[in-house]
A and B are shown apart, each in its own frame.
Chain A
């Protein structure tokens, strides 16, 4: 594509945006005192904060480019992958989420060790790291592809500059910075995406001389209005292949295996808040995100139907997003929308970098280091690890640049790395009989059969649902179905011929023990009575042990007993739990409306003198 994009004003807007986000992220560094804070944000945030930051994680810069491309080519069916995530929600909300939250696993590979053995953990670590670092490389590549046209800087130099910018705020802040910058960036990218849709519709209205929305709708063909693609045609965009690759492997991979997403949910103040975040995300935010990432393509298609000369004739489909944004928006607004693309990149990359760093510290550094390291040493190592992860991602960029399109590179990832892990984690959670030997066979044997399928596509033919085999290129998305079946087949067969693990070892690690998890987490019977959440003022008791002391009447209001778990937060709801702490109820006193807190609560919660706290019994 050779057309000029962006003005001086746009360039300034983008640079200002980068500066604001870096400052914003660095500010929240003060909330990361330990590796738990750095990686998990201290398990304290409200559902709405988690929801918006999940949006920013899920919508990567590749999303804008990739979905606009498909929207331009095929219309509304580009939204398919955003609207097929509900099927696995029951298992996620009531199976996986309580398991990871209450067993306090710090990473997916750690779950594999607890459920199976250390070999399973190391294999999972390798696969997850490869997946995440590759994903970061794709993000860098996508944004650099857009920015280097605007600034006329060589592609690889743009990649390096983006990596440095994201490093600055992440290096100091960790998960709290990630969550708060993602909150900010989530709003920015949703607003910018909807703004682009509004501008596009207005532009179309002006061209046709009627109401913009009618002009938009009238200029899509009936086929382009269908929300689902043709069942099995063409090979590069068909419903059934994408259902198995994205709706099944992708959805399970995203919900159950995305370390970044899991860390978000572990930053929630409770499992119920995590469930709310997941439900609102899928029911409300994903449909909006589908419009946000696709609309440039729809508008581009409608513009082409109205006035074919408006968009460059030789425009590559991948360039639709930038080209449409360029013609429908004015100087400055274009810069703002491209800044949203930056927001998408930074918010997805920072989550993945933090997640990769967590996996390296938790699954490689800790198990392999002979001496016990202090929190300070581990935190330092975590911060340097995040830089190392980015360096490797930058080095991988040329490899992904060799794919035909970003859509293909991304699809290759899902179908290659997720099926063995998806099968491993899924059977691990929901089938007690699934053995340690079986999971290793799934990783190794399954991977071997998957590679065989790549070289001999006729093996995939029985699962092809009539999708045409592309000579020399094999099957695309439907390969995911073959991969899932061979991995599951290996796992089930090996399980049936090996001795199952003892029930004792599996306690708390499968869905069948979820009802016991609260008691395991608490160390005694969970108090399930629902009480009130009083607002109290706080007083420091420096000699106090690590418990919170409320009055007898306040304890009655909360239906709490000494030893139960409690959560206190600054009563200003809009802080979303940023200033908060978890603890146990101590011996009650007689001063109603007052809670005595220890120095460690004050340090962790950073409560403000004179301001009240809201208390909530957890269990």
Chain B
């Protein structure tokens, strides 16, 4: 297995997708659509970050396991 099959798609997914995610977070915070001063909005910030890391972790672990099973 080469880099194009393993880590390149991962880097591209969370690189380009990560840019979209960060821009989205900045837009909703700067426009006050998400207000960091509201307790229940703050909870959502953590949920959003958790979701991003959750998927990155699933993909990373599966790639790691697949490489290890060669």
Contact = CB atoms under 8 A, between A and B. Distances in A.
Given A94-B44, A272-B40, A87 B17 contact: yes
A65 interface: no
Given A95-B27, A231-B12, A222 B70 contact: yes
A201 B3 CA distance: 31
Interface stretch (A4-12, A257-265, A363-371, A508-516): A508-516
Nearest to A227: B62
Given A89-B51, A228-B10, A512-B33, 7 more contacts: A84-B55, A223-B66, A225-B62, A228-B13, A272-B40, A430-B27, A515-B35
Interface string A454-492: 000000000000000000000000000000000000000
Contacts of B1: 222-223, 226
A93 interface: yes
B31 A86 contact: no
Contacts of B9: 228-231, 239-240, 243
A119 interface: no
Contact of B13 (A225, A233, A243): A243
A279 B47 contact: yes
Given A88-B24, A247-B17, A231 B5 contact: yes
A234 interface: no
A243 B55 CA distance: 15
B13 A511 contact: no
Interface string B52-70: 1011001100110111011
A514 B35 CA distance: 11
A247 B31 CA distance: 25
A243 B63 contact: no
A275 interface: yes
B13 A94 contact: no
A94 B28 contact: yes
Contact of B28 (A91, A228, A231, A243): A91
A222 B67 contact: yes
Interface string A57-87: 0000000000000000000100000011011
A514 B33 CA distance: 5
A232 B3 CA distance: 12
Interface in A491-513: 511-512
A83 B6 CA distance: 16
28 contacts: A83-B58, A83-B59, A86-B51, A87-B20, A87-B24, A90-B24, A90-B28, A90-B48, A98-B33, A222-B69, A223-B5, A225-B65, A226-B1, A226-B62, A226-B66, A227-B58, A228-B10, A228-B59, A231-B9, A240-B12, A247-B17, A272-B40, A279-B51, A282-B51, A430-B27, A511-B27, A515-B33, A530-B40
Nearest to A515: B32
The 3 closest A-B pairs by CB, nearest first: A514-B33, A90-B24, A225-B66
Nearest to A282: B51
Nearest to B10: A228
A514 B32 contact: yes
Contacts of A223: 1, 5, 66
Contact of A283 (B13, B31, B33, B54): B54
A541 interface: no
A422 to B, nearest CB: 13
A530 B12 CA distance: 42
Contacts of A233: 4
A232 B67 CA distance: 19
B25 A84 contact: no
**How extensive is the interface on chain A, given as a class?**
35 or more
Interface residues of B, number: 41
A287 interface: yes
A88 B28 contact: no
Which interface residue of B10, B48, B52, B66 has the most chain A CB atoms within 10 A?
A: B66
B8 A231 contact: yes
A528 interface: yes
A247 to B, nearest CB: 7
A514 B31 contact: yes
Contacts of A512: 31, 33
Contacts of B44: 93-94, 275
Contacts of A528: 38
Contacts of A530: 40
Nearest to B28: A94
Nearest to A238: B9
A81 B63 CA distance: 16
Contact of A511 (B6, B10, B31, B47): B31
A230 B2 CA distance: 9
A373 B60 CA distance: 57
Contact of A86 (B5, B21, B66): B21
Contact of A231 (B4, B51, B69): B4
A247 B16 CA distance: 11
**Which residue of A86, A247, A275, A287 has the most chain B CB atoms within 10 A of its CB atom?**
A86
Given A223-B1, A228-B63, A511 B69 contact: no
A89 B24 CA distance: 8
